[in-house]
Structure 1
Amino acid sequence: MPLPAAEWRAEVEFERRLVHSGGTLYPVPYLLGWFTWTETRYFLVAALAVVLTLEFLRLVVGFDHALYQKLIREYETDSIAGYALYQVSMTGVVLLLNPTLAIPAMWMLSLGDPVSGALGDNDATEAKRPAAWIAMFLVSLSLALLFTVPAFGTGVGIAVALAGAVLAAIADGLPPIIRGVAVDDNLTIPPAAAGGMLLAVTVLGVGV
C-alpha cells in the first residue's frame, strides 16, 4: 500500500540526509593513516568522474532508475542534481586546500547541513528558520575547532573556526538567487566555509 504523501516525503528526506552524511567518510582513510592527502584527492576526483557520468546518463541519455527516483527532488528532474553539486564542492576544497581547512569544510556540508535541514522546512528559495541557522553554526564551529585549535593554537584556532562557521551558516541558511533560481547549498557550503577560514588565516598571518 503506498505511503501517504507526507510520510513519503519524510522518508525520502531521511534517506537523502543519510546519503548526505555518507560524505563524512571521504577523509576518514586519510585521518586513519591509510591514504595520503594526495591519494585522497585522487579518490575524490575519481568519485566526481563517476557522479558526472551518472548525471550525463540521466540528463542526456535518459537513463533512470529507482535510486534517482528516491533521492532526487522534483525540481532537480531536469537539472544537475544536488548530489552531483555536493561532489563538485567536496572535490573542489580537497583539491585546493590542505586537510586542516578542507576536512571541516567538507564535514560542515555532510553533517551540519542535514542537521539544519531537519530543523528547517523551507522552500529552496527561502531563508531557513533561526533554529536551523543556529544549529548549522554550532555544528560547523564544533567541527572546525577539532582541526583549527590543534593546528593554530587556541586563540587563532577559535578565530579561524568562527570565520568558517559563520560563512557556512550563511551559505546554508540564505541561498543566493541567480536569475530567480536558488544556488544549491550543496555547492556553496564547503567553498564558503573554506573561504572564511582561509581569509582568517591570511588576515591573522598564520601558515597552513
Structure 2
Amino acid sequence: MSLPAAEWRAEVEFERRLVHSGGTLYPVPFLLGWLTWTETRYFLVAALAVVLALEFLRLVVGLDHSLYRRLTREYETDALAGYALYQVSMTGVVLLLEPTLAIPAMWMLSVGDPVSGALGDNDATEAKRPAAWIAMFLVCFGLAVPFTIPAFGPDVGIVVAMAGAAPAAVADGLPPIIRGVAVDDNLTIPPAAAGGMLLAVAVLG
C-alpha cells in the first residue's frame, strides 16, 4: 500500500538528509590516521569522477532508475543534481585548503545543512526561517571551534570559527538567484565558509 503524499515526502526528505550527512565520513580516515591528507584528496577526486560519470549517464545517456527518481527533486531533472554539486564543493575545499579549515567547511554542509533543513520547509528560491538560520550558525560554529582554536589559539580561533559559520548560514538560508534560478546551497556552503575563515585568518593571523 502506498504512503500518503505528505508521509512519502517526509520519508524521502529524511532519506535525502541521511545521504547528505554521509559526507561527514570523508575526512574521518584522515582524522583517525588511516590516510594522509594527500590520500584524502585523491579519494575525493575519485569520488567526484564517479559522481560526474553517474550524472553523465543520467542526463546524457538517459539512464534512469528508482534511486534517481526517489532522491532527486523535480527541478534537478534536467540539471546536475544536488548530490553532484555537493561532491564538487566538498572536493574543492579539500583540494584548496588544509584540514584545519577544509574539514569544518565540509561538515558545515554535511551536518549543518540537514539540521537547518529539518527546521524549515521552504522552496528552493525562498529564504529559510530565522530558527533555521540560528541553528545553522550555532551548529557550524560548534563544528569549527575544535579545529580553529587548537590551530590559532582561543582569541583568533573563535573569530575564525564565527567567520566561517556566518557566511555558511547565509549561503544556506538565503540562496542566490541567478536568472531566476536558485544556486543550490550544496555548491555554496563550503566555499562560503572557507572564504570567511580564510579572510579572518588573513586579517588576524
TM-score by length of 1: 0.98
| Cα deviation code 1:91-117 (max 9, x no counterpart) | 000000000000000000000000000
The one-letter code sitting in structure 1 at the alignment partner of 2:5 is A
Separation in 2 of the partners of 1:61 and 1:188? 28
The aligned residue for residue 171 of structure 1 is 171
Separation in 2 of the partners of 1:168 and 1:32? 26
The answer to whether residue 58 in structure 2 is matched with residue 54 in structure 1 is: no
| Cα deviation code 1:63-116 (max 9, x no counterpart) | 011111111011111111000000000000000000000000000000000000
The aligned residue for residue 79 of structure 2 is 79
Separation in 2 of the partners of 1:32 and 1:71? 31
Quote the offset at 1:147 in angstroms: 0.2
Separation in 1 of the partners of 2:138 and 2:181? 28
Which shifted more, 28-37 or 68-77?
68-77
Separation in 2 of the partners of 1:107 and 1:64? 30
The one-letter code sitting in structure 2 at the alignment partner of 1:13 is E
Gap runs ≥5 in structure 1? none
Matches within 5 A, 1:57-206: 57-204=57-204, 206=205
TM-score by length of 2: 0.99
Q: Report SS of the residue matched to 1:138.
A: helix
Q: Report SS of the residue matched to 2:20.
A: helix
Q: Report SS of the residue matched to 1:131.
A: helix
Gap runs ≥5 in structure 2? none
Quote the offset at 1:30 in angstroms: 0.2
Question: Equivalent pairs: percent with the same residue?
Answer: 86
Separation in 1 of the partners of 2:29 and 2:174? 33
Separation in 2 of the partners of 1:13 and 1:37? 32
Q: Report SS of the residue matched to 1:93.
A: helix
